[in-house]
Amino acid sequence: MYDVIIIGGGAAGLNAAMILGRSRRKVVVFDSGKPRNRWAVSMNGFLSSDGMSPRDFIKKGREELKKYNVELLDKKVDTATYSKGTFVVNDEEGQVYHSRKLLLATGLKDKLPELDGLEPLYGKSVHHCPYCDGWESRDKAIAVYGRERNGIGQALAMKNWSDSVTLFTDGTKKLRPEDLELLKLHDVQVCTGAIARLEGEDGMLQRIILRNGEVREHQAMFFSGETSQQSDLGQQLGCEFTGKGVIKTRRLQRSNIPGLYVAGDAARDMQLVIVAAAEGAKAGVAINMELQQEDRVKD
């Protein structure tokens, strides 16, 4: 029986494991190796590790855990259930594990716009989070992708990072006269033409080709896309979700299920690596305190 099973070995799961390992708890971390930012060349906005590659960040975190005897298993968890104070977890090979507490740190996945040529540029010059990649795109000719009225907010926001911002609605013509007036007031260009493809070199966007043959020169693109949970374990366990598809958490990352904690992007709050790590640390402390309390009652 483990004290704690952690599912997900990104920033949230690894930081929780560090706190719990340092608290001399018997901990195992399962990880299927798909951190959300694995497409990105750099992880920005994390004090002391700003600009580090996401891969090196995880590697370093795993190295640091070695001295705390945390078990790391590179396996996917398929099912998790809770009954009478015990969590039962099955990995992809059918092995079964038991624990007193469970932390879900399984993250989110992103739905990308369906644009030819986007994939090799994603994470290098095509981004969704200005706080992660706005600085690196500063003063560039920025394209914001948003069909119908979806890109208005982001296009206005990107003026923070560049004077040259164009909103692409990709063949949709749903912008209202008041939207166009607002965009014009803030000097945001609008292009409603349908996009044929994106072109670039070595991951760097160079131009957007429209279906009518027009060529627009841009060096960066931002979009705000849909996200969904990377795993369905929250549903399996009966967690409450918000309307935005993240798991509802209470104080110190507690969920509605006793003994089940949720940290990082899978839970409600800002989606940044440093926030995920902090939530992992909060959950680690709260889990250890709950275990201490239970053990005191037993004694």
Ligand X SMILES: Cc1cc2nc3c(=O)[nH]c(=O)nc-3n(C[C@H](O)[C@H](O)[C@H](O)COP(=O)(O)OP(=O)(O)OC[C@H]3O[C@@H](n4cnc5c(N)ncnc54)[C@H](O)[C@@H]3O)c2cc1C
Chain positions contacting ligand X, by CB under 6 A: 7-13, 30-37, 39-40, 43-46, 76-77, 105-107, 110, 123, 129, 132, 230-231, 233, 264-265, 271-274, 276
What's the min distance (Å) between Cβ of 194 and ligand X? 25
Give dist(CA 14, CA 29) in Å, integer: 8
What's the min distance (Å) between Cβ of 57 and ligand X? 9
Q: Cβ closer to ligand X: 13 or 259?
A: 13
Under 8 Å between Cβ of 246 and 259: no
Nearest to 266 by CA among 251, 248, 283, 288: 248
Q: Cβ closer to ligand X: 72 or 155?
A: 72
Residues 6+ apart with CB under 8 A from 96: 88, 89, 90
Q: Cβ closer to ligand X: 136 or 179?
A: 136
39 three-class SS: coil
122 three-class SS: strand
CA 79 → CA 91, 97, 101, 248, 280, distances in Å?
7, 11, 15, 20, 21
Q: Cβ closer to ligand X: 72 or 183?
A: 72
Under 8 Å between Cβ of 125 and 204: yes
What's the min distance (Å) between Cβ of 38 and ligand X? 8
Give dist(CA 143, CA 119) in Å, integer: 16
Question: Would you say the C-alpha torsion 159, 161, 166, 170 has a positive or negative sign?
Answer: negative
Please name the residue that has the structure tokens 């590790």: 49
Q: Cβ closer to ligand X: 7 or 18?
A: 7
